[in-house]
Amino acid sequence: MNKVQLFRQTFKGREDIVAKYWRSKKGSSGYSPLCRNEWKKGICKKPCRTCENADYIPLSDSLVLDHLKGKHILGIYPLLKDNTCNFVACDFDDHQGNKEPLEDARAFYQTCQVQEIPSYTLRSKSGKGYHSYIFFEHPVEAWKARLTTLALLKEAEVIGEDFESSFDRLFPNQNEASGKGLGNLIALPFQGKAARYKNTLILDPKTEFKEPYDDQWKVLEDIQRVKESRLDRMIEDWDLKREMQSIGSQYSTLEKQSLGQLMGCDFIKWCKEQPESVPEPLWYALISNVISIRPGGYTLCHQLSRGYSKYNARETDAKILHALDASGPHTCQYIQTNGFKCRKQCDVKAPAGLIFKERD
């Protein structure tokens, strides 16, 4: 088996569609599905997920090879059409600069080791976060993969009562396709340019996950995969219930309070109640603050943005990514300068400060 085929077999999501990373001249960036009709006048009706003329380009060896060479960056959708998945991955990030993603990734790995469930850890493209993968022998129902992985995260004390961590989300982040989208996307690893900086490669536990394995392709050849029967046994032994797998239900009361504190902000409430009145600078200010909620900020950004007059999923994703790369959320002073007059005195510099105010 050649390297491209080995790579595709390991990191296998949907193959009838693939996304590519883009960056605009204005600095916006994101992923969009490759489509034969993209930008064709009178045919292309973005966003892609609602366009009846979408003609998606499938994943191919040549696309993967160019990804490995660094000519572009690809992303795949791990949730398959029949609501199964070939792998599940945990996303650990430090967007706010106050979490320890490496420690959380290590704790998850160690718990998987104890439970005899092989896992593999990679550093993200930026070098600041980590993705931990569990691969399956055959496609398994997504709800089983997610339920057991959330239980492992809880066992590792990464999520659960009174635990604050860098854990962001799972890939896939859904049990079933909604019919309105493609599910969440994960960037393919082994990215040509990032790999030169030792990022997006499988890390060696013997180096405390600081250095990648010397021979990445040998690691892929020897990937250990989990049988579905192992998940079934864990679900039975641990008495896991399908209705328990909501990520929100796995988080502490403290995390839930964070959401309530931010949503109590007059500016956030105004954006929610009168989205058609929100000008572009304040829309971005909304996103830059809401994305501070971890986990759940990404979904909430889209929920609050849908009523905005110029909303589309791609532009919202671009603003979210831009906000994550920024030095911090837009301040209350910026928000007031751009038209929203707040009469409250909250003793925070930005709405996002409300998330952490009660924790100090």
- Taking a C-beta distance cutoff of 8 angstroms, is the pair 125, 200 a contact? yes
**Model pLDDT, residue 360:** 39
Task: Report the candidate in 185, 206, 237, 156 with the shortest Cα–Cα distance to residue 78.
Answer: 185
Task: Report the candidate in 187, 183, 185, 16 with the shortest Cα–Cα distance to residue 83.
Answer: 183
User: Is the pLDDT score of 15 beyond 70?
Assistant: yes
Measure CA of the first residue to CA of the last residue in the chain; give whole Å.
Answer: 55
User: Is the pLDDT score of 331 beyond 50?
Assistant: yes
**Model pLDDT, residue 50:** 66
**Model pLDDT, residue 40:** 77
User: Is the pLDDT score of 168 beyond 60?
Assistant: yes
Domain positions in the chain are 77-185+192-250, 253-357
Torsion of CA 4, 6, 11, 14, to 10 degrees: 70
Cα–Cα dist 13/85, whole Å? 7
User: Is the pLDDT score of 359 beyond 60?
Assistant: no
Cα–Cα dist 316/351, whole Å? 19
Q: What is the number of alpha carbons within 13 Å of residue 110 lying toward its C-beta?
A: 14
- Taking a C-beta distance cutoff of 8 angstroms, is the pair 137, 227 a contact? yes
Strand 84-92 versus strand 120-123 pairing type: unpaired
Q: Which of 46-55, 183-192, 261-270, 289-298 has the highest mean pLDDT?
A: 183-192
Q: Which residue has the tokens 């009145």?
A: 277
If one counts every other C-beta atom within 10 angstroms of the C-beta of residue 344, the result is 11
For the entire predicted model, the pTM comes to 0.69
172 preceded by a cis bond (ω within 30 of 0): yes
Q: Which of 226-240, 248-262, 276-290 has the highest mean pLDDT?
A: 226-240
In 156-265, alpha helices (H): 192-195, 216-221, 228-237, 247-250, 253-263
Tens digits of per-residue pLDDT, 238-266? 998 875 454 444 444 444 555 677 888 89
- Taking a C-beta distance cutoff of 8 angstroms, is the pair 326, 287 a contact? no
**Model pLDDT, residue 59:** 97
Backbone phi, psi, residue 171, to 5°: -120, 115
**215 SS3 class:** coil
If one counts every other C-beta atom within 10 angstroms of the C-beta of residue 54, the result is 19
Continuous segment of H or E residues that includes residue 283? helix 280-290
Cα–Cα dist 355/290, whole Å? 10
Backbone phi, psi, residue 86, to 5°: -90, -15
**Model pLDDT, residue 243:** 59
**Model pLDDT, residue 252:** 44
- Please identify, in words, the CATH class of the domain defined by 77-185+192-250: alpha beta
Tens digits of per-residue pLDDT, 129-144? 999 999 999 999 999 9
**Model pLDDT, residue 301:** 85
**Model pLDDT, residue 176:** 85
Confidence of residue 48 (pLDDT cuts 50, 70, 90): low
User: Is the pLDDT score of 69 beyond 90?
Assistant: yes
**63 SS3 class:** helix
Tens digits of per-residue pLDDT, 77-100? 999 999 999 999 999 987 666 678
